């Protein structure tokens, strides 16, 4: 017997970016919404522990670094980089095997404007040609876009901590009820089908921290618990589906994708160093943007290249041989006991990794050599990043007098069936089976890194602007050592037109269900070059519109017609 019953028109599980957007969009459209969040206003390590996985996966970040059980979810940790998927991501490509999007780019693009408003990253334009104040300059003088482009932009949000920025609105929007400290542990399907022949959810089971049981009933249910947790909830719902709900064709938990993010090359420009646009710029609204190298879609098709980008980065802060007072200062701050206050722990650990053991004396020497410059940087950065209200500078960049910069490769992680998560027999404190991850990267993922660098090198040499060098003799070995993921969780409840090919349909409903939806990047059949959140927010807005129209009975219009 449940100790408590809750009822609403729509029940949304998880108050991360996706859940907050779906809930607020629906409540503003006049619907009654119950938003169930496992965490609370503040971080609680005991809550966080509920999401820990089992075993060791050499390619996976600890869940404590990759997720956050708190209102706002992982947006409490995120950097705020906002990038859309590209039209080519939605094309049928042999490169991605049998993964096929059941929607096109044009189905989602209309939602990007509202996604950008939610993320607070300015206008949804992502190329300098559409931003007049940036269009007149190029990354290096004389650069011309061709096979390789240097005009695509990433935008940066505040960074928007969804739980903080929308806290007030969550509490005062009529029709919306936020229930915190309540963890959904099972989706219970009804026996028999609906009048349309589809299956229906009977109720959700949720639990307070003390284990007491709450029964949640609604007309529509949206799982927005994050990529792995939404997948886990479906696996845990095995009362009538022993292999997990939505696992009708064996795809639940499969096709787990992250991104291929590695640093194995360096660019040397032959242009005047002071003219290189190596850092952030701001558009006319003051939003931070940054240029990146990307690859023309036709080149991607002919080269069989996964969608990928390259951008300029600082020298490794931990390697004092860089000789920069600013970089050494940053290293010393991050390595200090206060380091965890400045950036998310995962990012801090990433910065502290150095090839050589850190030599503190050398770092101090770098700082002392350039004390005035370092002090000026420290005051400016402290103000722009931590003290200034509203929009914060997303990072810092140090100009290279030699005009040479390491490159970060950020590429599509190709879908592989053996890259997966699976439920185990180990239960968390509320009785949910914990997951084990097997994040797998293939030789194609690795080979793409070399090719992308070679193509940028070719373009620079043809234009007489510079060249690219590899940092390692064994490039592929270095790539393999750096392959790591968990922040961008995609693929494990992938969408597919045919139930035989995936878990969700084109409207994010679990195949076969009329009333159960998943709002998560786990729905993405491919991973793009783009970090996942911006596209996820566009899908969340689209889902809210679909549900609203559906609930209002306007002919129960699907956002996309789903084949019967
Ligand atoms: C360090 C870091 C940096 C990142 N930087 C970027 C970036 O720059 N750009 C980008 O695009 N992305 C970035 N990301 C990824 C981004 O944070 C996620 O894509 C985004 O937060 C996903 O939103 P979500 O709502 O799907 O899930 P989440 O943010 O994971 O939110 C899920 C919510 O559901 C709750 N929940 C979980 N299980 C249950 C349950 N059973 N019952 C009730 N509630 C539950 C959780 O407590 C949480 O609040 C970063 C992530 C990390 C960790």
As a three-state string, the secondary structure of 121-179 is: CCCCCCEHHHCHHHHCCCCCCCCCCCCEEEEEEEEECCCCCHHHHCHHHHHHCCCEEEE
Residue with the smallest CA separation from ligand 1 atom 53 is 66
36 ligand 1 Cβ < 6 A: yes
29 ligand 1 Cβ < 6 A: no
183 ligand 1 Cβ < 6 A: yes
Cα(17) to centroid of ligand 1, in Å?
A: 7
Rounded Cα–Cα distance for residues 298 and 542 (Å): 29
The ligand 1 atom at the shortest distance from the C-alpha of residue 39 is 47
394 ligand 1 Cβ < 6 A: no
225 ligand 1 Cβ < 6 A: yes
Q: What does pTM read for this prediction?
A: 0.96
487 ligand 1 Cβ < 6 A: yes
Tokens of 389: 């209200």
512 ligand 1 Cβ < 6 A: no
Are β-strands 81-82 and 288-295 bridged in parallel, bridged antiparallel, or unpaired?
unpaired
CB 87 within 8 A of CB 539: no
What pLDDT, on a 0 to 100 scale, did the predictor assign at position 194? 66
Rounded Cα–Cα distance for residues 178 and 163 (Å): 11
- Which residue carries 């997948």 as its tokens? 231
Instruction: Count the neighbouring beta carbons within 10 Å of the beta carbon of residue 8.
Output: 22
What pLDDT, on a 0 to 100 scale, did the predictor assign at position 393? 94
Rounded Cα–Cα distance for residues 364 and 324 (Å): 10
11 ligand 1 Cβ < 6 A: no
What pLDDT, on a 0 to 100 scale, did the predictor assign at position 356? 66
What pLDDT, on a 0 to 100 scale, did the predictor assign at position 316? 92
Nearest to 317 by CA among 401, 406, 380: 406
Cα(349) to centroid of ligand 1, in Å?
A: 19
- Which residue carries 């060791």 as its tokens? 56
Rounded Cα–Cα distance for residues 134 and 310 (Å): 19
209 ligand 1 Cβ < 6 A: no
184 ligand 1 Cβ < 6 A: yes
What pLDDT, on a 0 to 100 scale, did the predictor assign at position 81? 98
Residues of the chain with pLDDT under 50: 555-564
Which of 13, 15, 16, 517 to mutate to test ligand 1, by most ligand atoms within 8 A of the CB atom?
Answer: 16
530 ligand 1 Cβ < 6 A: no
Residue with the smallest CA separation from ligand 1 atom 6 is 78
The ligand 1 atom at the shortest distance from the C-alpha of residue 233 is 41
How distant, in Å, are the alpha carbons of 356, 396, 523 from that of 325? 18, 13, 44
What pLDDT, on a 0 to 100 scale, did the predictor assign at position 553? 85
What pLDDT, on a 0 to 100 scale, did the predictor assign at position 195? 66
């Amino acid at each position: 017997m449940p100790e408590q019953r809750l009822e609403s028109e729509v029940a949304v599980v998880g108050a991360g970016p996706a859940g907050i957007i779906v809930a607020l969009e629906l409540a503003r459209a006049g619907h009654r919404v119950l938003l169930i969040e496992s965490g609370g206003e503040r971080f609680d390590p005991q809550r966080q522990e509920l999401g820990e996985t089992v075993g060791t996966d050499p390619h996976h970040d600890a869940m404590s670094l990759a997720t956050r059980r708190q209102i706002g979810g992982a947006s409490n940790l995120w950097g705020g980089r906002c990038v859309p998927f590209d039209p080519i991501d939605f094309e049928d490509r042999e490169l991605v095997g049998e993964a096929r999007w059941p929607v096109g780019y044009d189905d989602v693009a209309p939602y990007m404007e509202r996604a950008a408003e939610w993320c607070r990253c300015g206008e949804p334009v992502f190329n300098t040609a559409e931003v007049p104040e940036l269009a007149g300059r190029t990354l290096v003088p004389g650069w011309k876009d061709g096979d390789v482009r240097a005009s695509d932009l990433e935008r940066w949000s505040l960074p928007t901590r969804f739980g903080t920025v929308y806290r007030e609105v969550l509490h005062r929007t009529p029709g919306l009820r936020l229930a915190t400290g309540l963890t959904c542990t099972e989706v219970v399907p009804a026996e028999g089908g609906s009048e349309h022949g589809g299956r229906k959810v009977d109720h959700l089971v949720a639990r307070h921290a003390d284990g007491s049981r709450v029964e949640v009933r609604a007309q529509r249910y949206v799982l927005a618990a994050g990529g792995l947790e939404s997948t886990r909830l479906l696996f845990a719902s095995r009362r009538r589906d022993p292999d997990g709900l939505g696992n009708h064709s064996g795809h639940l938990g499969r096709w787990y994708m992250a991104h291929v993010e590695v640093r194995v090359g360096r660019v040397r420009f032959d242009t005047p160093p002071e003219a290189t646009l190596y850092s952030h710029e701001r558009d006319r609204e003051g939003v931070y943007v940054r240029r990146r190298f990307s690859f023309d879609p036709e080149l991607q098709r002919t080269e069989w290249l996964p969608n990928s980008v390259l951008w300029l980065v600082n020298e490794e802060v931990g390697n004092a041989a860089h000789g920069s007072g600013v970089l050494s200062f940053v290293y010393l701050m991050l390595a200090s006991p206060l380091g965890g206050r400045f950036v998310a722990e995962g990012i801090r650990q990433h910065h502290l990794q150095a090839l050589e053991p850190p030599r503190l004396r050398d770092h101090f020497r770098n700082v002392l050599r350039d004390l005035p410059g370092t002090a000026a940087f420290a005051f400016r950065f402290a103000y722009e990043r931590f003290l200034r209200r509203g929009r914060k500078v997303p990072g810092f960049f140090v100009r290279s007098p030699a005009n040479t910069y390491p490159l970060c490769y950020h590429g599509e992680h190709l879908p592989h069936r053996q890259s997966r998560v699976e439920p185990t027999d180990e239960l968390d404190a509320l009785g949910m089976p914990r997951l084990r991850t097997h994040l797998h990267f293939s030789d194609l993922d690795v080979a793409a890194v070399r090719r992308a660098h070679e193509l940028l090198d070719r373009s620079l040499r043809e234009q007489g602007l510079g060249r690219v060098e590899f940092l390692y003799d064994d490039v592929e070995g270095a790539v393999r050592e750096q392959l790591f993921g968990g922040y961008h969780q995609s693929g494990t409840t992938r969408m597919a037109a045919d139930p035989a090919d995936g878990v969700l349909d084109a409207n994010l409903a679990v195949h076969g269900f009329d009333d159960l939806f998943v709002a998560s990047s786990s729905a993405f059949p491919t991973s793009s070059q783009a970090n996942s959140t911006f596209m996820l927010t566009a899908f969340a807005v689209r889902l809210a519109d679909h549900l609203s129209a559906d609930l209002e009975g306007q002919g129960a219009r699907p956002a996309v017609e789903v084949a019967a």
